[in-house]
Amino acid sequence: MLLVLMGTVVIAGIIGYASEKSGFTENGYLSSIIICVGGAFLFYFVRIMFGVGFASPGTNAIVSSVGALVIVPFHWRK
pLDDT (0 to 100) of residue 76: 64
pLDDT surpassing 90 at residue 77 = no
- How many C-beta atoms surround the C-beta of residue 16 within 10 A? 28
pLDDT (mean) for 52-68: 91
The string of pLDDT tens digits covering residues 9-58 is: 999 999 999 999 998 888 889 999 999 999 999 999 999 999 898 889 89
pLDDT (0 to 100) of residue 78: 58
pLDDT (0 to 100) of residue 75: 65
pTM for this predicted structure: 0.87
* Angle at 26 (CA atoms; ends 20, 28), nearest 5 degrees: 70
